[in-house]
Amino acid sequence: MWAWRAAGAAAAACALLNACGGGDGSGGTPPPPTGLSARALAGQALFFDKTLSASGQQSCGTCHVPARAFTADPATDHGLPVPLGGRSMDLPGFRNTPSLLYTRFTPAFFLDDDTPTGGFFRDGRASSLAVQAEQPFVSEFEMANQDAAEVSARLQASSATLQLFVAAFGTAVLSDPEATLAAIGSALAAFETEDPRFAPFSSKFDAWLDGQVALSSSEQNGLALFNNPGKGNCTACHPSVSQGYSSHPLFTDFTYDNIGVPRNWSIPANLPDPKSPVSGVPLDYLPAPLNVPADAEYAYYDLGLCGPFAPPANDPNPRPDLSHSSWLCGQFKVPTLRNVAITAPYFHNGALPTLHKLVQFYVTRDINNNTGNNPYAVPAGPGGNPYQAVGTFFLAAEGTPDLYQYNDLPVLWDGNVNVGETPYTLPTFAGGNAPTLTAAEIDDLVAFLCTLTDGFDPQNPGSYNVPAQCAPGAE
Amino acid sequence: MNASVCHPAARLARTAALLVAAVAVIAGGPPTRAAEPSLADLQRQLAQLAASVQQLSEENRALREHQAQVDRQLAQLGAPATGAPAAPGAAAAAQAAVAANASALPAAAATAAPSSAGTPVSSSLGSLGGLRLWGYGELYYTHPVDEPAQTRMDLARAVFGIGYQFSDRTEFNSEYEVEHAVSSADDVGEFEVEQFYVDQRVSDAVTVRAGLFLMPFGFLNEHHEPTNFYGVQRNFVETLIIPSTWREGGFNLHGDTAGGFGWNVGVTTGFDLSKWDFQPEFPPYRTALELEDSDIAPLQASHQELALANARHLSQYVALSYYGVPGLTIGGAVSSGKAVAAGPGDPRVTLWEGHVRWTPGPFDFTALYARGTISDLAATNELFPGSPNPIPSSFYGYYLQGAWQAWEHGDYRLAPFARFERYNLGASWAGSSGPDIPTGLVPMSATPGDFGYWPKYQDRVWTVGANFYITPHVVLKADYQWFDENSNFKRYDLGLGLAF
């Protein structure tokens, strides 16, 4: 009898630890473990249940695709950097879908010595996983339920999901739609917290930290550049060491930054005449401008922390109102760099399509200022600006260089852009500026970033699914 | 904190000076060729001699009264000065005073140099039924010559001490400190408990101490009152290599032998390397003042100060000193123990030091060497390539200092000094080729446009200055420092210090 119990205990421990089999090196998702609680199992079902959306075609997993580190696949979004949703699946969103991997380590929003830190969504306006998970259900351009009652009705019509939901929460909660939605949120949060697929820590970098594999010289040099405060200085916001939220490095300190990313004209809301690229309907759900001066160059700006999206009304621990904190305009949360090689496009607005271009942006943002007034110019000529040909990343809608540097911000908030830290700018001195990274160093840094993709098996390194942009020679 | 022997020491100093003067007078001042003295000369010399003898006798009476009081106190306290075998001369003075030996006078003269007021003069305040109070504090003004924007004035520390004599065998001492005037979550200051221990005199030869106590390393660590050292700021070697004020929790046994040896052996908490900052984004210091306050040096960064200290591994130390020859103190100490690791590996931290102090006549020469090593760091540093601050495997420092009691008048005393010191916070590295420090201009802070150079982690420093004692307890200081490597650290400082 005890032998059975021992075996059962071992199997349960094995499943919980997910240490015995189950993991694969193909870059796909391993089969779900069996050690999830009832709430988490309900959450798993809710996560993939498309019938809970008004269109019947969208679940959490539609935009948070497991194979893409739980970010969106642009191919399913009409090639847009933002997801399509709504009742007819034709309404574009505003921001690049963030990855759900490792989000469970995010702290609730707080001000650390006046430094905003933590919170869910790219502007930290939801205080927990559960609160964040509820919002897409009732968002007009996402799962498009009118209210909690419609969500509850759809849940009760989805028998398999309902069965798991009732197993976790009972039936009494179904009589109150708000409580039902809150329970849905907590189930999804339990799923994201308990399921080890959301925090595998199985990248090549993790294997190297454990001493199981050696990094190539390019990757090693890339890590050194990542850490060096005079070179990449990436670790200043994307720490390559644990900050205490997890024993593993998360490559984010959950603070916010305004790095003056270029305006992404592929986002329909950014166009002068915002409408759906699928059906042509106007986007009447655009939020009213907040902190955008009347004489701004463009009509719509996403200003992040000081921007127009308010904390959810039912948040038990709401983020303070930051709409008057104008120095925070343009700040978005530092995302994790884990799996960054497979989560293109990059930044809150998906403005940069590849890692190589992203690092180039960091290096050339202020050097290649094309507006005719550049305090950081590198003098031309031999040994001058090696990135002259790269040009500026700040383009107008027509694709030509924009008149405005930092064109995704009203000129009024240009002063909020982080210009003081490496690698953006260096002091002007006799002879002008110099870029912080050479082209070879950019390649090495990208090579290091490619080691942060989960799914590496030290016993079988050849099976590592190398993303296309990480292949040698990729640009 | 040591026995209150300052007053008698000061008096001994004056006595010594007078004695020397009297002898000089008798000998006819500077040596001259033998000449036939006239009667008037002889009478004048006799009168001077009588006056000197009169003064000496008065001093002697006062001294003897005080000596008796000190004897009583020492008997009660069980010679606590012996807990500090590395003490420059205060221990010597205590022993010498107890011995009431004329040969102790040069040693007393040594203590009349900075340490004269360094020990609590509780007797002057009166003991309220066993309770004792003492304290010290210092202010400074520091002006980096090449970076005037970094000029600072600061109440460096305000310290008070509370002690209680439970019996003639058992004694409690504690010291509390406020640094930088204002201590709160939002201010730069700190409030800390620097000492908190009980001494139990088990015999005349041995005392046991338990609690939070100062480590008997170097000169400054145990005698860091501003009246006890030359220069406005503490020297770099005894701030960066020996992390003054270095205190640990644990217990020790200490005592003195008749031959003039002091010994101290103990078991204490150790260091915690897991707090190491491998990735400072900005240079951790930009002036010499910030270097001292930055806690960037290896043992500054990892000492635990008995604040929820990790005690899985304990350290042991031995300290010995010899002060049997008047005017000379020789001492050394070594501490070793495993540290909380910052990564894979099992690092052991060892610090050893040796020091000498010699006080011939009005001069005061000191020399000190200290060296620390940390083992088994290769695997840890390898996890942080590109770091501007890997953990060094060895670091060291030494200094040579000379001071001169140039002028004295009543309580006023002027003592100019000069010091050369060398420190190297990274003599060797394992698992790293050294700090990956940007060589060009880098942002020094998050403020846009604030650029500078990353400082070097080793230097040679020249200091000249003077201590001007208003009384043995209050001192005005001034000095000027030049730096070989971080030459923009050049500065002059003014300071005010007091101890009671």
Per-residue pLDDT of B54-78, as tens digits, reads: 878 777 877 777 777 777 777 666 5
Interface of A with B in 423-442 (CB under 8 A): 425-427, 429
- Give B417's strand partners: B403, B465
DSSP output for B71-97: HHHHHHHT-GGGG-TT-SSHHHHHHHH
Evaluate whether residue B305 is within a structural domain. yes
Domain range holding B284?
Answer: 117-499
Query: How close is the nearest chain A Cα to the Cα of B487, in Å?
Result: 21
pLDDT category at B83 given cuts 50, 70, 90 is: very low
Interface of A with B in 48-67 (CB under 8 A): none
Interface contact A412, partner B, CB < 8 A: no
Q: What angle do CA A463, A467, A468 make, to 5 degrees?
A: 125
Q: What is the pLDDT of residue B497?
A: 97
Interface probe for B, chosen from A240, A242, A436 (most Cβ of B below 10 Å), is A240
Q: What angle do CA A304, A44, A79 make, to 5 degrees?
A: 50
pLDDT category at A380 given cuts 50, 70, 90 is: low
Q: Cβ B440–A230 below 8 Å, yes or no?
A: yes
CATH code of the domain containing B431: 2.40.160.10
B314-322 and B261-269 strand pairing = antiparallel
Check: CB of residue B351 under 8 Å from CB of residue B299: yes
Q: Is B27's pLDDT higher than 70?
A: no
Interface contact A31, partner B, CB < 8 A: no
Instruction: Collect all residues of chain B within an 8 Å Cβ-Cβ radius of residue A228.
Output: 386-388, 436, 438
Q: What is the pLDDT of residue A74?
A: 82
Query: What does each C-alpha distance from B94 to A100, B105, B255, B269, B281 come to in angstroms?
Result: 70, 12, 13, 30, 50
pLDDT category at B391 given cuts 50, 70, 90 is: very high
Q: What is the pLDDT of residue B119?
A: 45
pLDDT category at A248 given cuts 50, 70, 90 is: very high
Choose among B368, B278, B437: nearest CA to B86.
Answer: B368
- Neighbour-count burial for B265-286, b at 16+ CB within 10 Å, e otherwise: ebbbbbbbbeebebbbbbbbbb
Q: Cβ B440–A226 below 8 Å, yes or no?
A: no
The proportion of chain A whose per-residue pLDDT surpasses 90, expressed as a percent, equals 65
Q: Cβ A229–B448 below 8 Å, yes or no?
A: no
Domain limits of chain A? 26-198
Instruction: Collect all residues of chain A within an 8 Å Cβ-Cβ radius of residue B454.
Output: 230
Count CB-CB contacts under 10 A for residue A19: 11
Helix and strand element counts for chain B (H, E): 8, 19
Class of domain A26-198: mainly alpha
Instruction: Collect all residues of chain A within an 8 Å Cβ-Cβ radius of residue B440.
Output: 230, 426
Q: What is the value of pTM for the model shown? A: 0.78
Query: How close is the nearest chain B Cα to the Cα of A350, in Å?
Result: 27
Q: Is B283's pLDDT higher than 80?
A: yes
Q: Is A26's pLDDT higher than 70?
A: no
Q: Is A18's pLDDT higher than 70?
A: no
Instruction: Collect all residues of chain B within an 8 Å Cβ-Cβ radius of residue A233.
Output: 281
Q: Summarize the confidence of residues A393-421 as an average pLDDT.
A: 90
Q: Cβ B443–A209 below 8 Å, yes or no?
A: no
Per-residue pLDDT of B202-261, as tens digits, reads: 999 999 999 999 999 999 999 999 999 999 999 999 999 999 999 999 999 999 998 899
Interface contact A218, partner B, CB < 8 A: no
Evaluate whether residue B110 is within a structural domain. no
Q: Summarize the confidence of residues A182-208 as an average pLDDT.
A: 95
Residue type, B112: A
Evaluate whether residue B257 is within a structural domain. yes
Per-residue pLDDT of B30-58, as tens digits, reads: 444 445 667 888 888 888 888 788 878 77
